[in-house]
C-alpha cells in the first residue's frame, strides 16, 4: 500500500466543506469527513482503480454523490490534490 498525503489545498477544501455543513448539522459533517477520508484508502492499495481525472495526470474518486476527491499517483505515494463538490466547476480555470 502506498501512503496517502494530502496537499494543503485538499485539506483546506475538506475543512471548508465540513465547516459549512457543521454550521447546520455537526453530526452530518463528521460523517461526511469520515466518508471522504476512508474513500481514499482503496487508492493506496490499487492506485489506478478509479477513473482518470479531468486534469491530466489525475484520477477521481466519487467519495459521496456530492463530493469528488482528486488525486495523483506519485512514485511512492498517493497525493490528494482537491476535494470538490460534484456541481462545482472543475477543473478550475
pLDDT in tens, 16-34: 999 999 999 999 999 999 9
Q: Which CA distances in Å does 60 have to 10, 14, 22, 24?
A: 13, 15, 25, 28
pLDDT at 93 over 70: no
DSSP state of 30: H
Residues in the chain, overall count: 93
- We find that the CATH architecture of domain 4-85 is 2-Layer Sandwich (3.30)
pLDDT at 88 over 90: no
High-pLDDT (> 90) share of the chain, %:
90
User: What per-residue confidence (pLDDT) applies to 90?
Assistant: 75
φ/ψ of 30, rounded to 5, equals -65, -40
Amino acid at each position: 500500500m502506498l501512503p496517502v498525503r494530502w496537499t494543503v489545498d485538499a485539506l483546506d477544501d475538506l475543512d471548508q466543506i465540513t465547516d459549512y455543513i457543521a454550521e447546520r448539522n455537526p453530526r452530518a459533517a463528521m460523517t461526511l469527513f469520515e466518508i471522504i477520508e476512508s474513500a481514499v484508502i482503496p487508492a493506496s492499495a490499487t492506485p489506478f482503480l478509479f477513473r482518470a481525472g479531468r486534469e491530466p495526470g489525475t484520477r477521481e474518486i466519487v467519495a459521496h454523490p456530492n463530493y469528488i476527491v482528486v488525486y495523483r499517483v506519485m512514485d511512492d505515494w498517493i497525493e490528494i490534490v482537491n476535494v470538490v463538490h460534484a456541481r462545482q466547476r472543475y477543473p478550475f480555470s
